[in-house]
């Protein structure tokens, strides 16, 4: 069977039994949420012009979005275990809509950072509730369902950054962010109408919840789960560092026009549209180890090649190599979701995602400081080294 036929078969199964509308609405909302989050990297030059800050401050702004999008995932996971996910998803969409409007209307650096923090917190309510709801709907095909959802997310990340770059160049950078708000409001209404209310509120005592938390922390002592947590942290450090400054690297180091750099940045996520469902399906079929190694190894070579190749066509090819790593999300998150019971799934995922993403949010700050000191190229070689560590750790997980 061809790759196209395999993907088609998986989609037909996922759409069956009336579940397809829920999956489609969850995926569409995720596409807009993560797509607009990737607008920041392509409008960094415009923000620098408006506010007069350096690449280090640019990295701090992007890290603020990631940091607050991380620390909210633990309470988001707890809430996903206690209440129905539909409410959390809709609240997430509404909060991000308000925060985006505040970012676009900001007139000072303080307001910009504050609105960015609220944006991150609103975003943080979505990921865990999305996973626990999909786990209920697709108990035997979670990897495939997450792969499709993440692929749609990459569609948003492919489409929105070039649109935002065009609007920033022709109108204003605020237009690049504000254009997503109407779509978020519409998809929020769709989620409320389409999604089922499956989870009964948990009325357990605070002592019960503390006991659950202690149980989760004990599980993290398991060598395999601990190794996967370290892998996820290192991957997020790489991913956040790379995406924060890739368009800037292309324009300042490689001499690529801004419009072409935006298209190349979108192309990075476009490859993920195929890589993520294939990665999820590979997890369901072959397990974690070899599927994860298979999607991460090309990125190791891609980071090295990125420092030596020139020319638009060659850079597009290297970008495709690096973007195959996007298939890892469906693998690692399915593995983690399968590691916890249904009662602890949201909280367990929240603990791990908050821990790893909060630490990983430091990546753009570190990478921005490295670039400010003239070591942009060396920074990408360092990312290749971190990727090699991840691959080595994967071999150790049973």
Cα–Cα distance, 176 to 183 (Å, whole number): 13
Q: Tokens 């807009």 belong to which residue?
A: 32
Domain contains 5: no
Domain contains 4: no
Residue 221: predicted pLDDT: 67
User: In total, how many domains does the chain have?
Assistant: 1
Domain contains 10: no
Domain contains 111: yes
Q: 218: domain CATH number?
A: 1.20.1250.20
**Contact at 8 Å (CB) between 307 and 381?**
yes
- For 136, the token pair is 């209920």
Cα–Cα distance, 173 to 59 (Å, whole number): 17
Residue 388: predicted pLDDT: 92
Domain contains 2: no
Domain contains 285: yes
For residue 24, give the nearest of 122, 138, 182, 148 by alpha carbon.
148
Residue 211: predicted pLDDT: 64
Cα–Cα distance, 42 to 169 (Å, whole number): 11
Residue 156: predicted pLDDT: 84
Helices 223-252 and 328-338: crossing angle, nearest 10°? 160
Domain contains 9: no
- For 387, the token pair is 């990727």
DSSP 72-119: THHHHHHHHHHS-HHHHHHHHHHHHHHHHHHHHH--SHHHHHHHHHHH
Residue 10: predicted pLDDT: 61
pTM score, whole prediction: 0.69
Cα–Cα distance, 89 to 82 (Å, whole number): 14
Cα–Cα distance, 152 to 20 (Å, whole number): 14
Residue 67: predicted pLDDT: 83
User: How many Å separate Cα 238 from the centre of its chain?
Assistant: 12
CA-CA-CA-CA dihedral for 172, 52, 40, 350, to nearest 10: -140
Domain that holds residue 46: 17-196+203-395
Q: Is 271 exposed, middle or buried (0-12, 13-18, 19+ CB in 10 A)?
A: buried
For the chain, give me the number of helices (H) and strands (E)? 20, 0
Cα–Cα distance, 345 to 88 (Å, whole number): 16
Residue 304: predicted pLDDT: 92
Count of positions (residues) in the chain: 398
DSSP 264-319: HHHHHHHHHHHHHHHHHHHHHHH-HHHHHHHHHHHHHHHHHHHTT--SHHHHHHHH
CA-CA-CA-CA dihedral for 249, 385, 241, 64, to nearest 10: -150
Cα–Cα distance, 242 to 137 (Å, whole number): 33
Residue 293: predicted pLDDT: 86
The CA–CA distances, whole Å, from 152 to 145, 239, 276 equal: 11, 18, 9
CA-CA-CA-CA dihedral for 314, 316, 318, 319, to nearest 10: 160
Q: Tokens 């072959």 belong to which residue?
A: 286
- For 334, the token pair is 């399915």
Cα–Cα distance, 174 to 100 (Å, whole number): 9
Domain contains 7: no
The CA–CA distances, whole Å, from 357 to 74, 183, 231, 283, 352 equal: 11, 26, 11, 22, 8
Residue 389: predicted pLDDT: 92
> What is the chain's pLDDT, residue by residue, as a tens digit (398 residues)?
555 565 566 666 666 666 778 888 888 899 899 888 888 877 877 777 777 777 777 778 877 888 888 777 777 776 766 667 888 889 999 999 999 999 888 888 888 889 989 998 998 888 878 887 877 776 666 667 777 787 787 788 888 888 888 888 888 888 888 888 899 999 999 988 888 776 544 545 555 556 666 666 666 666 777 788 888 889 888 888 888 888 888 888 888 888 888 888 888 888 877 777 777 777 777 777 888 888 898 999 999 998 888 888 999 999 999 988 888 877 887 777 777 666 666 677 777 777 787 787 778 788 888 888 888 888 889 999 999 999 988 887 76
């Amino acid at each position: 069977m061809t790759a196209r036929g395999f993907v088609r078969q998986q989609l037909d199964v996922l759409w069956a039994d009336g579940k397809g509308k829920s999956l489609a609405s969850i995926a569409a909302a995720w596409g807009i949420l993560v797509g607009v989050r990737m607008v920041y990297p392509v409008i960094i030059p415009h923000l620098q012009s408006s506010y007069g800050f350096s690449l280090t401050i640019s990295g701090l702004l992007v890290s603020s979005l990631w940091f607050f999008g991380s620390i909210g995932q633990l309470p988001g996971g707890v809430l996903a275990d206690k209440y129905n996910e539909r409410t959390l998803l809709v609240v997430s969409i509404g909060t991000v809509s308000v925060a985006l409007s505040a970012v676009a209307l900001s007139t000072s650096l303080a307001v910009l950072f504050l609105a960015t923090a609220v944006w991150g917190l609103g975003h943080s309510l979505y990921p865990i509730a999305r996973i626990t709801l999909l786990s209920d709907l697709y108990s035997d095909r979670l990897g495939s369902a997450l792969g499709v959802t993440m692929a749609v997310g990459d569609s948003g990340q492919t489409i929105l950054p070039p649109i935002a770059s065009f609007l920033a160049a022709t109108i204003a950078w605020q237009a690049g962010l504000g254009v997503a708000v109407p779509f978020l409001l519409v998809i929020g209404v769709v989620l409320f109408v389409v999604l089922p209310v499956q989870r009964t509120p948990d009325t357990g005592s605070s002592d019960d919840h503390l006991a659950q938390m202690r149980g989760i922390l004990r599980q993290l002592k398991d060598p395999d789960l601990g190794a996967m947590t370290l892998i996820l942290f290192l991957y997020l450090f790489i991913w956040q560092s790379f995406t924060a400054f890739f368009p800037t690297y292309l324009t300042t180091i490689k001499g690529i026009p801004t419009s072409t750099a935006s298209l190349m940045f979108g192309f990075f996520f476009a490859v993920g549209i195929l890589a993520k469902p294939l990665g999820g399906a590979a997890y369901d079929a072959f397990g974690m180890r070899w599927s994860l190694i298979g999607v991460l190894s090309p990125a190791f070579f891609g980071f090295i090649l990125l420092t030596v190749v020139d020319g638009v066509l060659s850079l597009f090819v290297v970008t495709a190599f690096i973007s195959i790593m996007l298939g890892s999300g469906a693998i690692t998150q399915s593995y983690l979701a399968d590691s916890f019971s249904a009662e602890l799934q949201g909280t367990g995922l929240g603990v791990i995602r908050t821990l790893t993403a909060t630490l990983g949010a430091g990546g753009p700050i570190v990478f921005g400081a490295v670039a400010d000191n003239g070591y942009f190229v060396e920074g990408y070689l360092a990312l290749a080294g971190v990727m090699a560590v991840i691959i080595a750790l994967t071999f150790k997980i049973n």
